[in-house]
Structure 1
Amino acid sequence: MGRRTDMIAGLGGATPALRRFARALCAGAGPAVADDLVQNALQSVGARIRARELRPADPAEARIETYATLVALAQKKLADAPGPASRHPPIVHGLASLAFDERAMLLLVSLEGFGYDAAARIIGASREAALARLMRARAALGAEGLRPVASSESGRRAVSHLRVVK
């Protein structure tokens, strides 16, 4: 019984990262929408763990399951969501222009630090399909001029628009 409680408490500690991911995934739909998605995902996974429907082997498995639940909920909720307002920065508009699976894959790998296999499990695709989506997302952002440049003429690295913030 202590293990289930520890697992649920661990998920609660992941809330800031889940909120960051959800806000980026919603791409301008609003922080309230993202926060609702996070709360619903945590409640769903917590209830499944308590009911013993879900028995993750370790905290990493519980984290993957939580992100997968969040992505599934977001895909349903964001189907009819409006795009970002004009006041949002270009990166938000660039993310919003991506297909949902491409955006999710890009954010899972670049923002959340998941490996390709784990990110593919989260979005429910094969590894090859997930990598193709990631490549399309990177190419689309690069075509819009939103991808970071490797170096500038002065030899300094240009600032990236997609940074991992912990």
Structure 2
Amino acid sequence: MSRKAEILEGLGGIVPALRRYSRALAAGAGHALADDLVQGALQSVGARIRAKELRPADLAEARIEAYAALTAMAAKRLGPASRPAPRHPPIVHALAELPFDDRAALLLVSLEGLGYDSAARILATPREALLSRLMRARAALALDGLHSPDVGARRPVSHLRVVK
């Protein structure tokens, strides 16, 4: 098997990760749209590899290209009408409220576990801009109370009592 065929076959193995990222990036817009984004990204990368426009040295390089293609397609297709239904959990609504670039940066680093340099490459932005987007996204989610340790916990008991 040629190296190109090996990489194309290996791209099939990253479909679950791409689906996870796509569904989170679409923030409740629907599984059909998320799956269309994954399929389009894989077709785009596969076509570029076959046309020799893209020559990834290994599967990791092809994976970065697939994430980049998916993110670019999502940026074009997701709009204000792509909002989560009321039945979705609060985190999905909070993600949907984030600007697209901040959401993509947060998901690439936090959900997909990519490093800052890889995430910056996928988003075609300098590392410093990526870090700024991450800070804004994390701050926005913290303001929503999604990451505070006392979410769902009981209020601390007051030791003061009213004496009559």
* TM-score, with length taken from structure 1: 0.88
Cα shift at 1:80:
4.3
Match runs of 1:9-48 below 5 Å: 9-48=9-48
Letter in 1 for 2:85: A
Distance 2:93 2:56 in 1: 36
Letter in 2 for 1:31: H
1:141 pairs with 2:144: no
Q: CA RMSD in A?
A: 1.6
Distance 1:13 1:59 in 2: 10
Letter in 1 for 2:143: A
Distance 1:96 1:139 in 2: 15
* TM-score, with length taken from structure 2: 0.89
Cα shift at 1:40:
0.3
Distance 1:103 1:29 in 2: 14
Residues 4-29 of structure 1, C-alpha deviations (whole Å, 9 max, x = no match): 00000111110001000000000010
Distance 1:80 1:10 in 2: 34
SS at match of 2:25: helix
Equivalent residue, structure 1, for 2:67: 67
User: How high is the sequence identity, in percent, across the aligned residues?
Assistant: 67
Equivalent residue, structure 2, for 1:107: 107
Cα shift at 1:82:
2.6
In the TM superposition, structure 1's runs of 4+ consecutive aligned residues that sit over 2 Å from their partners are: 79-82
Equivalent residue, structure 1, for 2:54: 54
Distance 1:120 1:146 in 2: 25
Cα shift at 1:69:
0.3
Aligned length: 152
Equivalent residue, structure 2, for 1:127: 127
The unaligned stretches of length 5 or more in structure 1 are: 154-166
> Considering only CA atoms, is the larger Rg found in Structure 1 or Structure 2?
2
Cα shift at 1:74:
0.2
Residues 35-77 of structure 1, C-alpha deviations (whole Å, 9 max, x = no match): 0000000000001101111001111111101000000000000
Cα shift at 1:106:
0.4
Distance 1:148 1:44 in 2: 40
Cα shift at 1:79:
2.7
Residues 94-136 of structure 1, C-alpha deviations (whole Å, 9 max, x = no match): 0000000100000000110100010011111100000000010
Conserved? CA contact 2:109–2:116, under 8 Å? yes
Distance 1:84 1:70 in 2: 20
